[in-house]
């Protein structure tokens, strides 16, 4: 793994873990703090599954899948052109994946707290690691469209 990717990934990982700990130690489970009425709350929940609680209760399976995905990601990274966008993309992915993996390993669940209601839809609660992962995927998708994955 390239040094820049590792350093940035550690920064994203630490930010995610610190925010999760801040929420975990200062909020009660299933309680909300309204930040923007009818739009955005901080709501502490424990997610025992993956996105939208998919595979809830299968923590060991999710850990195994995550480790396999990290290995695949590491090998896939070698195919990409080295530039700022791709460095950030892989850093976001590693940082986010590590953050959620650490929660699963230590607690058996992931701490989620970002709670949005968008046009009346109560979106599933998520965390910054999830944001990092989605942004990383979007940036890699751009790289693929620009044919930067064929080195």
The residues assigned a catalytic role are 112, 130
The Cα 42–Cα 27 span in angstroms is 9
- Residue 66 CB-half CA count within 13 A: 24
CB atoms within 10 A of CB 6: 13
Residue 44 region by backbone torsions, left for phi larger than 0, else alpha for psi between -120 and 50, else beta: beta
């Amino acid at each position: 793994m390239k040094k820049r990717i590792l350093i940035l990934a550690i920064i994203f990982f630490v930010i995610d873990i610190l925010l999760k700990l801040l929420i975990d130690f200062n909020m009660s489970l299933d309680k909300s703090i309204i930040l923007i009425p009818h739009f955005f709350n901080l709501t502490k929940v424990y997610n025992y599954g993956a996105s939208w609680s998919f595979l809830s209760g299968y923590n060991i399976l999710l850990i195994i899948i995550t480790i396999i995905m990290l290995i695949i990601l590491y090998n896939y990274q070698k195919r990409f052109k080295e530039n700022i966008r791709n460095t950030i993309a892989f850093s976001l992915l590693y940082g986010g994946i590590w953050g959620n993996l650490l929660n699963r390993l230590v607690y058996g669940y992931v701490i989620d707290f970002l709670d949005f209601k968008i046009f009346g839809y109560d979106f599933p609660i998520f965390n910054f690691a999830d944001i990092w992962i989605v942004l990383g995927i979007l940036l890699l998708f751009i790289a693929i469209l620009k044919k930067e994955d064929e080195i």
